[in-house]
Structure 1
Amino acid sequence: MDPFHARLARIGLVAAAGYGFVLAGGYAVQAHGFLERLSDDVDLFTDIADPVAFSEAVEAVAAAYRADDLTVEVEKSAGVFARFAVADEQGHMAKVEFGCDWRARPPAVLEIGPVLHPDDAVANKVTTLFGRAAPRDYLDVNAALASGRYSGGLLLQLASEHDAGFDPRYFAQALRAVDRWPDREYEAYGLDGGQVEDMRRRLRAWAAEILDERLDER
């Protein structure tokens, strides 16, 4: 984990401890040992859908950052979403995003602080790929599948728990779209050409498996 990002996560998790916030997003996947990659921002999410409490938590984190000699610009704050741009004394800048999302499992308590349970972390990445399909989403989903800790079927089941509108057939199409991104988009996150090709093959094979199973069900 980027040291500055780790600093932001630790401070934020302590400041928002009373509001149910945990480390989420790509760093939650990394915290559980699925992969190591560059990440664009730090995601801190709660499952308490109370805009008043959410605003209090965000303000507490902003105050904690400033108390640690960090500069905070609130780029967006509305309802149960907020985004900060935070800079340190040397001018390093990072985004911190706050949000609210449903969880199926209690969070894990790791060295960095509370982190989404691995089931919720990978389920969120599957549903994110389903909706956004950015290069980093393919990397994270591939890491979960390649780890051997989750079968393709279990990943689909977990995603369906999180999103009632999740459709495996459309997800399979999103998996097949792994080829629309050139290698350089994946290599920017630290992969080499061989690793990119392995990922493409694995995700294409999973897509074919999903579609074959759906045909058999008809």
Structure 2
Amino acid sequence: MRLLVVEDDRRLADALGVALRRRGYSVTHAATATAAKAVTDFDLMLLDLRLGGEDGLEVCRHFRRSSDVGIIILTARCAERDRVLGLRTGADDYVVKPFSMAELEARIQAVLRRSSRRPPRTLTYGDLRLDLNMHVVTYRDQPIDLTPKEFALLVRLARAEGQVVSRDQLLLDIWQTVSREASRTLTVHMTTLRAKLGDPALVGTLRGVGYRLNIAPAPGSAA
């Protein structure tokens, strides 16, 4: 199982990662809310609420708008109002620090069991369908094999619902940088993405600004 640990305390994140890997989990670490939002390939998130100047609850809201991925809040905030707010925001569980690894693993397994019984979440835009749980894309009923970055780019554009997403915003969301090297990488990924979709007009370019999907969301889309 793939876990995303969202924690700005590097020492705690490293210790948690070591303990979880010893128990057989694959672990990705994100130190900021921005970095967490760019990750698409995981089964469950362990989310701290204090992320420097960023709000962990906004990360929870971000994923709940389009995904049923498991979310467990790990925080030192122990007040009842904080627990209630975290759960109402969409978290599946709320664990107060300090905690034992035995308890945390039991809670992880419980949330994963519940998540596996949830119906799939999809984004549907015309003939384009994105399965957010399985990370599968089909266009005109044909499966499209995308890399994780290509999938993340397509999901980001789909969530914009036809609005233009700037290059800088895509770079920050997917690569967490606006460097020249990352900008060149974005251009290559967009070229490859269009080629794989087989319809160059599907992803439109507003020169000097950014990109958008040139189709409207289907009625009833799970976005």
How would you bin the TM-score normalised by the shorter chain? 0.3 to 0.5
Query: Which structure dedicates a bigger proportion of its chain to helix?
Result: 1
The two structures have a TM-score, normalised by structure 2, of: 0.33
Query: Which structure dedicates a bigger proportion of its chain to strand?
Result: 2
The two structures have a TM-score, normalised by structure 1, of: 0.33
